[in-house]
Amino acid sequence: MAEKSTIQSGSPEPVAIKRIGAKYIAYLHTLFAYSAFFAALGVACYTHYHKIVQNEYFGYPDEWFPSVSATTGDRYPARAIFQILIALTSGPRFALVFLWYFYITHSAKTVSKGFGLSLLIVGIIRTVSCGGWVYITSTDDHLTHDIAMVIYLLCTLPWQVGVLYSSSYNNQTAVRWRKFLTFAFFTTLPPMIYFFIQHKVQKIPGAYTTYAFFEWSLILYDVAYDAVTAIEFQDFELFIVDKTGAALITESSVPFASNPDESISPSTLRIFALLPGFATETYLGTSLSVCLGIGPLRRLIAKYRGFFHFLSLIGVASYLKVDPVWRLSLTAIGLGVSLTTWCASWIESNKHTGDLERSALIWSLGLILHCVVKMAWYTENPIWPIMNKDNGGWNDVGIVLGIIACAEVLLRDHTVRQKTENGKDLISLSGINATSQFGSSFLAASGFGALLFALHSMFTDSSTIMRWTVDGYPNYGPEPVPWGVATIAALAFGLLLAPYRRLTTSIFWYLVGCGACVVFYSYSAWTAYYGGLVLGTYFVSIAPAIIRGISTQSPFKTLFSAFMIYNVLCLAHVWVVAYEFVPGGVYARERTDAILMVLMALTGLGVLNAHRQASLDVRKRLAQFHVLKYARSMTRLFVVGLIAISAVIASNRVSKAKTPVPYTTTEKSFTAAIWTIHFALDNDMWASENRMRDAIRDLELDVVGLLESDTMRIIMGNRDWAQSIAEELGYYVDFGPASMKHTWGCLMLSKFPILKSEHHLLPSPVGELACAIHATLDVYGQPVDFIVSHNGQDENYNDRIQQTTELARIMRTSPNPFVFLGYVVTKPRQEIYHLLFDDGDMNDIDPTDWDRWCEYIGFRGLRRIGYARISHGGITDTEIQSGKFQLVQNPKEYWTAQYNRIPETQVPTQLRYPSTFYGTGVRGHRYHVFNEPRYFEN
């Protein structure tokens, strides 16, 4: 392993006194690593077999083989043995990481120093994160253990692919082994994930044992992959140097010539000593644009895009984590990887313009398909991380389809590379070179950032532009079903126009888009919807041209600017409503008009850049991208298919929707309620509309006001969740103030026809805008008025005074029987309370209930039957308050009610509250505070 010198040298120059074969470090690493895992396995099975095969659901004999974590982290002495041996492994591991950098950048010279440094950083992070999950076990700190494990797995993909990419193809044995082990490692992940789901979600006995075998195989492949380094290091040696020159040497010993060309400066070792800390901070500050600014890394991602799309599936798989923080973090990682992969593909495929347009068209088709899928799932995407099997999610199906799609891309790209000369990419052999920079990086970035925001905020659901512009009855506007088909058709039409860049980048077409935006903002209901349709057509039509624009610019500068613009627009999009909770928010208060103007101005800059580029392409005979003919044909075929599918979905939903019928048709009674539902996400951040539906159904609510209901924004996923409740239970819907009215929303579901309604923005000089719906319903032939309102917060007392004064005015001036369902923020018998009930000429449903703070129910001109408070069941942090009422022949006689309570036995059975909610209730909902409903004589 080492040679000792025998000849004395008086030379003052540094001399090598020992040389060590680098391959032995790889051998040492492999020996320690395998010893650590398999020694721990043997000891653990011998000392605690039944304990380490036991999991949260099953034990021996259903489960009979332990997982890696149970073996290495749960029990002494196996844990100690493993940790000691892994500690011994760390030295050779770090040595291999650094030696590989020197090998690929100085010896074999297979890649640039920039790429080598990037791979070195990944290797260091990967090694350090291994220490994280080894020495912080799941028993010590489950979250930290899992974070370290996820970082390790995330780094394994770029490490293995990067090492394969930088391997010397002169050594085909090593390359073949690396390809095989990489393929084995990543094809093992899908079945491993599948069996983990079978265990964790389906709770199938024995599934975890099968999962464990796949998990252990990953260890084998991972360590073996690094062991292959020994093959490439056969002729790679290290020298131990005496800088005094006083060592014994042989004639064959080499002076300090491991750096013969002086390419390594004297300070290099000091730099590498500081590198780990610098690398970790750099990692924390990385972004999409930084990753794509590294040419070799960008080309690697584009070349092996199937691998990186596969890695992005971690965002889909995040639903397996119940903890919302974990789900959010994993989703963010998956989205980041997906965006990086798409952008890298666009930039690299710019060398072949047909591939670029094809990719842009597919990306746009994905948007339309997303809208179609959401229409089928009542505006939820079934593979989102807020979905699971209990609320209608198809997450496991999404993962399987994603794996199949990634495998197809991998195989297709591999086949293309095999058919080209010397394994070069097809794009470099196309004969079309469009890589030269043209135009302005800032203009291109402006256009792409604006485009991404426009599509995300307004066109990721077929009903968003309807809810942004909805108005009161009877001029309510289009219903999401069936008119969502028109939205999808408009987006599809824009995609058909997209290849005609001379049209889509023209000043005429831009003015059409600006005009549509003006109509969309300035009008409401149907007229605004028509403007929104044209606007959707416009933005989709310019997408390929805008993408073409960014693909010819400096990736770092352009994408950094584009995503910063997108992020600022997203923040402004939230701040128009949430201005009270953010610094400087007052300047964005209710300024959707300003956002749309900035949006169109930035879009214009991008279109100007794209127009110049299109003109240049025409002169170069590259008009319309010279796209492969089949790409446009397939686009047309898919467009027709998606429109047809959306029409079938809409027809099916219309046919299955229940006709609104009151729950109790006798006695002319009805049940009303108020509930703050916190954007249809429960306390664990799962989509909650199915649970809400069940509670509303079991309580037999005929009219219900739902507050904090506007989810038609990016941060809430553009989800019109009320569609499912309305169609499945049979309700008329009044969405309330439109999303462009800058409130958090109030919504009313009614079993009775809505004769007319008015959407109010209550006076809010300081705080956030308060909203209200004042609707007149046809209740068994009698017009009855309802108000659903959400007043401001406790911090803005003057706002709440003015808002309550306006509510009282509306109620006082109505001639009809009236029900108030609102969120007032006051204690009983305080100033705001008296403003509401006394000035509004209303009766409190239960003036003896002193325990209220937010929600209140008032009435007049009706017979009060009962009052109940029902716990939220974990859906929100706010209870349901409900009142039962009955029509009377002479409403004026019941204008002022008397408080006379009666026992439930004196109430007719059909007028009582459901008995389901007594005691412990159902699904976490129960009668609380009083633990039973209260009933009244009048």
| Alpha-carbon gap, residue 125 to 105, rounded angstroms | 20
- The residues facing 21 across adjacent strands are 237
Catalytic residue among 199, 352, 790, 925: 790
Task: State residue 350's pLDDT score.
Answer: 67
Q: How far apart are CA 53 and CA 60, in angstroms?
A: 7
pLDDT, residue 589, reads 92
With a CB cutoff of 8 Å and minimum separation 6, the contacts of 478 are: 466, 486, 525, 526, 529
The ranges of the chain with pLDDT < 50 are 1-11, 16, 246-291, 353, 421-435, 622-627
Q: Output the pTM of the full model.
A: 0.71
Check if the beta carbon of residue 541 is closer than 8 Å to that of residue 368.
no
Query: Would you state the pLDDT for residue 137?
Result: 73
Burial (0-12, 13-18, 19+ Cβ within 10 Å), 507: exposed
Do 148 and 133 contact (CB within 8 A), yes or no? yes
Confidence (pLDDT) at 71: 80
Which CA distances in Å does 199 have to 203, 306, 663?
4, 27, 42
Strand partners, 883: 672, 867
Q: Are 553 and 439 in contact (CB under 8 A)?
A: yes
Question: Cα–Cα distance between 36 and 131 in angstroms, integer?
Answer: 13
Q: What angle do CA 318, 323, 326 make, to 5 degrees?
A: 50
CA distances from 587 to 500, 583, 594, 739, 810 (A): 40, 9, 11, 19, 31
DSSP H helices in 424-479: 441-458, 464-467
Pull the structure tokens for residue 476.
């309510």
Give the pLDDT confidence score for residue 17 in this predicted structure.
52
pLDDT in tens, 24-78: 777 777 787 888 888 888 888 888 888 888 877 888 888 888 888 788 777 778 8
- φ/ψ (deg, to 5) at 749: -110, 135
Residues 6+ apart with CB under 8 A from 468: 458, 520, 528, 532, 712, 738, 739, 740
Estimate the share of the chain in helix, then strand, then coil, as percent rounded to the nearest 5: 55, 10, 30
Read off the pLDDT of residues 598-629 as tens digits, 9 standing for 90 and up: 999 999 999 999 988 877 765 555 444 444 56
Question: Is 678 a catalytic site residue?
Answer: no
**Which pLDDT score, from 0 to 100, does residue 75 have?**
75
